[in-house]
Chains A and B, each alone.
Chain A
């Protein structure tokens, strides 16, 4: 099947570029950084110095869910930036170098070409996100309090939707413009605009994809899925399908011209 061929080719390329090694490692580092710095904060403050003699600092130990949410905040900043930067040239780079034309002159379905590549990058991103989430969970459980494992897996499943959505936005931009740097810029611009939008209309709109991370804290704390999260998830899946269809359509029209 041609879909599998493209998927395997892309996965092999990611493997040869060491992406399968370094992207999960970066997420693991991001995940364990916040539990560690929070745990060692008194020592860090002490070694930095600058405090008057005899000053006592009393830092309350934060609840474990807060520490996990700090890690998720890191994934949302640096992690998303890494995800956007590694796939910025996935299609646009191939179109620029002419490799995409080489593939698409053969009777290859545009939809298959895009979804296969998207699936390959998504698999890598999701592996990385889960690795990071688990490392954060492991350290929080050791250094703070235990959090039920199923809660983490469940919240990770919803967080995966957000990551899949970002990858889909990135692939849509990949078919719109040919310059990889511009692809990354447009994707991040879309995320930022969505963030601003949801902050302004906070009380009206509850179902935007970028709100998924905010709803995760309830799952991690109690294990219950808030009803808004189901809405946000369905909207995310719907937008993802629209973006992927739009991407294959835009790739088709770009090629004719």
Chain B
């Protein structure tokens, strides 16, 4: 077990091997959502708002964009 007294950056660097996939997958998700947003012509609601949602709500933001964002 890891000691509970560590600081957050210390904890993070100690567990990097375990946490890295989580962060990489989130990054890919955000980037694909942003590429899709840049390519698409019409969105439900303003585009800049979707960009903010994708960037600031992790995991849920990109999912919400992919499901509800596009206006066919």
Contact = CB atoms under 8 A, between A and B. Distances in A.
B22 A36 contact: yes
A3 B32 CA distance: 30
Interface string A123-148: 00000000000010001001100000
**From DSSP, what is the main secondary structure of chain B's interface residues?**
helix
Contacts of B25: 25, 28-29
A182 interface: no
Interface string B9-40: 00100000011011001101100110110000
A85 B18 CA distance: 31
**From DSSP, what is the main secondary structure of chain A's interface residues?**
helix
B66 A43 contact: no
A43 B4 contact: yes
B63 interface: yes
B24 to A, nearest CB: 10
B33 A22 contact: yes
A139 B18 CA distance: 8
B49 interface: no
Interface size range on B against A: 20 to 34
A97 interface: yes
A29 B32 contact: no
B62 A22 contact: yes
B69 to A, nearest CB: 11
A29 B59 contact: yes
A12 to B, nearest CB: 15
Given A29-B25, A97-B72, A18 B36 contact: yes
B54 to A, nearest CB: 11
A25 B29 contact: yes
A46 interface: yes
Chain A to chain B: the 3 pairs with minimum beta-carbon distance, closest first? A46-B4, A85-B67, A18-B36
Interface of B: 1-2, 4, 8, 11, 18-19, 21-22, 25-26, 28-29, 32-33, 35-36, 59, 62-63, 66-67, 70, 72
Given A18-B33, A82-B63, 10 more contacts: A21-B32, A22-B66, A29-B22, A36-B22, A43-B2, A82-B67, A85-B67, A86-B66, A97-B72, A142-B18
